[in-house]
Chains A and B, each alone.
Chain A
Amino acid sequence: MTIVEAAAQLRARKISSAELVSAALSQIEKLQPKLNAFITVLDERGRKQAREADEDLARGIDRGPLHGIPVALKDVFATKGVRTTCGSKIFEHHVPDRDSAVAEKLAEAGSILIGKTGMHELAYGVTSNNPHFGAIRNPRNPGRIPGGSSGGSGAAVAADMAFMAMGSDTGGSIRIPAAYCGTVGLKPTSGRISRHGAMLLDFSLDHMGPLTRSARDAGVTMNALAGYDPRDDSSSKRPVEDYVPAVGCSIRGLRVGWPENYYFERVDSSVRTAVERMGALAESLGAIIIPVRVPDIAAINTVGRVILMSEASAFFDSLGAGRDRFGSDVLSLYDQGRLLAATDYVNAQRLRRMMQREFSKLWDRIDCLFTPTVPIGAPPIGSLTVEIEGKAEDTRLATTRFVRAINVLGLPALSVPCGVTDEQLPIGLQIVGKPFAEAEILRIGAALEDAA
């Protein structure tokens, strides 16, 4: 069931929020020992708030489509009175005294927070194999990673533990778990959702966004979260739109950019076939496929890594924590960032400006870009390398190859499920949009979902 469907049933009095929350908590109780998707479960509080949501609806107080819907937050979002660990030993006992903007807005929209999801330590990695809180497992195959860093959010939504779970995305951390777990994941444009009160791994690359079961559910969440927040310097004053795609929405005449270079190189054949099928489906719905040569994405990824390591290490320095407080993979990245020169960081930000200008020229010819989200299905837990077309590749670099550059550019991108690999692992299609075109890429995702 999706948020849109549950919201309709709630208003038709066919189901109650108490029942929805109870079902979600039962699912967590059943699957948590196997998947480890949550760090904190808010059982009692969730049930109490659900009863209140039902009472409000009965009295005619309706806060909108998220009213009474059980949701979860990645453990980077500060929650007043609820432990917020960031998946780290450093914050193991941290209990914030105020809510993050996202937690605040979701509560105003009437949703019921049922827990804080597990994640890669400090959101710095793509496996969600957390040394302090344990490995999170993929619901589609528990021997596989859910992807990260928002792995618990991906697992929770895919395993029906929550209708929506929020993630954060520095180099793909919403879209990767969405692709690996078979959910929808939206990374909005920089500045569209407030980051206030969320732990920022990287000041200029971090984005907040939802993982859901449908594009329309992501739109419902965007309607609750998008908008200017003076507490976040990066927040945009650009007016918001209605992000929920209409029933029967069309993509006729849409110009879909189809990359001739980079995005279909070193890709599992089943991923290539699945994404090509989505291109054909879009074309059958009236979209126009336009082959394009994309700028040097590998170079943008390189620039992204220099920025990420510089900013993340600067943040970690300010925590004043000893080396023994970090897991080995995060410590290794921390060390790398500390050795980079300040001049390299500044030049990476200058290159970023250059690359943003160059990439934006594409929008004269196309409305969106279709790419695979990741080149492979979810790798086994603990694997440091993956094999693609007979060649071994670092798991982290392979997993982020198609998504990292989009954070550097600040563009919105949606991952939607589009099939399974030969090993029955989910595959994601990445739809990259123009700046602030969230409504458009959600409409494309919904049209493809409707037609699939």
Chain B
Amino acid sequence: MQDWKSIAIAKRLGMPESDLDLIVPVLEALDASFRPLIATIPIDIEPSIILSEPAVLGE
């Protein structure tokens, strides 16, 4: 379980405590469903976004 409030404070994002109270339960629920998925990723899987040719060419 991540300590979302501490993360917010450490990042100095200026989020009021009352706003954090609202989003922490949402993030906890999202994290609970997301975290187990990470363990299922095979080592040879690359992200679904790639460096585009125009980017490589500096365009």
Question: Taking beta carbons and an 8 Å cutoff, which residues of A are in contact with B?
Answer: 204, 230, 233, 298-299, 302-303, 305-306, 323, 331-332, 335-336, 338-339, 344, 346-354, 356
B17 interfacial by beta-carbon distance below 8 Å: no
Q: Are A306 and B45 in contact (CB under 8 A)?
A: no
Neighbour of B22 across the interface among A303, A332, A350, A352, CB < 8 A: A332
Also in contact, A350 and B11, with CB within 8 A (given A303-B34, A331-B19): no
Q: Which of B27, B48, B52 has the most CB of A within 10 A?
A: B48
Neighbour of B11 across the interface among A336, A338, A349, A356, CB < 8 A: A338
Contact with A along B1-14 (1 / 0, CB 8 A): 00010011001011
Q: Which of B4, B22, B46, B47 has the most CB of A within 10 A?
A: B47
B58 interfacial by beta-carbon distance below 8 Å: no
What are 13 pairs between A and B in contact, CB < 8 Å? A233-B55, A299-B37, A302-B30, A306-B30, A331-B19, A335-B13, A335-B19, A336-B30, A339-B8, A344-B34, A349-B47, A351-B38, A352-B47
Chain B: CB-nearest residue to A338: B13
Q: Are A350 and B46 in contact (CB under 8 A)?
A: yes
Q: Which of A323, A336, A339, A344 has the most CB of B within 10 A?
A: A339
Neighbour of A350 across the interface among B13, B14, B27, B48, CB < 8 A: B48
Which residues of chain B have C-beta atoms less than 8 A from A356's C-beta? 48
Q: Are B33 and A302 in contact (CB under 8 A)?
A: yes
Q: Are B47 and A350 in contact (CB under 8 A)?
A: yes
Q: Are A332 and B48 in contact (CB under 8 A)?
A: no
For the complex, would chain B's binding face be called helix, strand, loop or mixed by DSSP majority?
helix
A-B pairs, top 5 by smallest CB distance, nearest first, are: A349-B47, A352-B48, A353-B48, A233-B52, A302-B33
Also in contact, A354 and B33, with CB within 8 A (given A331-B19, A335-B13, A336-B27): no
Q: How many residues of B contact A (CB 8 A)?
A: 29
Neighbour of A204 across the interface among B19, B45, B49, CB < 8 A: B49
Q: How far is the CA of A332 from the CA of B20 in the complex (A)?
A: 9
Which residues of chain B have C-beta atoms less than 8 A from A338's C-beta? 11, 13
Q: How far is the CA of A298 from the CA of B46 in the complex (A)?
A: 21
Q: Are A354 and B45 in contact (CB under 8 A)?
A: yes
Q: Are A350 and B45 in contact (CB under 8 A)?
A: yes
Q: How far, in Å, is B43 (CB) from chain A's closest CB?
A: 10
Q: Are A354 and B34 in contact (CB under 8 A)?
A: no
Chain A: CB-nearest residue to B52: A233
Q: How far, in Å, is A313 (CB) from chain B's closest CB?
A: 10
Contact with A along B29-51 (1 / 0, CB 8 A): 01001100110111001111100
Which residues of chain A have C-beta atoms less than 8 A from B23's C-beta? 332, 335-336, 339
Which residues of chain B have C-beta atoms less than 8 A from A230's C-beta? 54
Chain A: CB-nearest residue to B47: A349
Q: How far is the CA of A302 from the CA of B31 in the complex (A)?
A: 9
Chain A: CB-nearest residue to B34: A302
Which residues of chain A have C-beta atoms less than 8 A from B52's C-beta? 233
Also in contact, A348 and B34, with CB within 8 A (given A353-B45, A354-B41, A354-B45): yes
Which residues of chain A have C-beta atoms less than 8 A from B13's C-beta? 335, 338-339
Which residues of chain A have C-beta atoms less than 8 A from B46's C-beta? 350, 353
Chain B: CB-nearest residue to A357: B45
Q: How far, in Å, is A170 (CB) from chain B's closest CB?
A: 15
Which residues of chain B have C-beta atoms less than 8 A from A303's C-beta? 34, 37
Also in contact, A346 and B19, with CB within 8 A (given A302-B30, A306-B30, A339-B7): no
Q: Are B14 and A306 in contact (CB under 8 A)?
A: no
Q: How far, in Å, is B52 (CB) from chain A's closest CB?
A: 4
Q: How far is the CA of A332 from the CA of B23 in the complex (A)?
A: 7
Q: Which of A299, A303, A335, A344 has the most CB of B within 10 A?
A: A335
Q: How far, in Å, is B58 (CB) from chain A's closest CB?
A: 13
Chain B: CB-nearest residue to A230: B54
Q: How far, in Å, is B23 (CB) from chain A's closest CB?
A: 5
Q: How far is the CA of A83 from the CA of B42 in the complex (A)?
A: 47
Q: How far, in Å, is B47 (CB) from chain A's closest CB?
A: 3
Q: Told that A299-B37, A353-B45, A354-B40 touch, could you supply 10 new A-B pairs with CB distance under 8 A?
A: A204-B48, A299-B33, A335-B20, A339-B8, A344-B34, A347-B41, A350-B45, A351-B38, A352-B48, A354-B42
Which residues of chain A have C-beta atoms less than 8 A from B11's C-beta? 338-339
Which residues of chain B have C-beta atoms less than 8 A from A348's C-beta? 34
Q: How far, in Å, is B12 (CB) from chain A's closest CB?
A: 11
Chain A: CB-nearest residue to B43: A350
Which residues of chain B have C-beta atoms less than 8 A from A323's C-beta? 14
Q: How far is the CA of A338 from the CA of B47 in the complex (A)?
A: 20
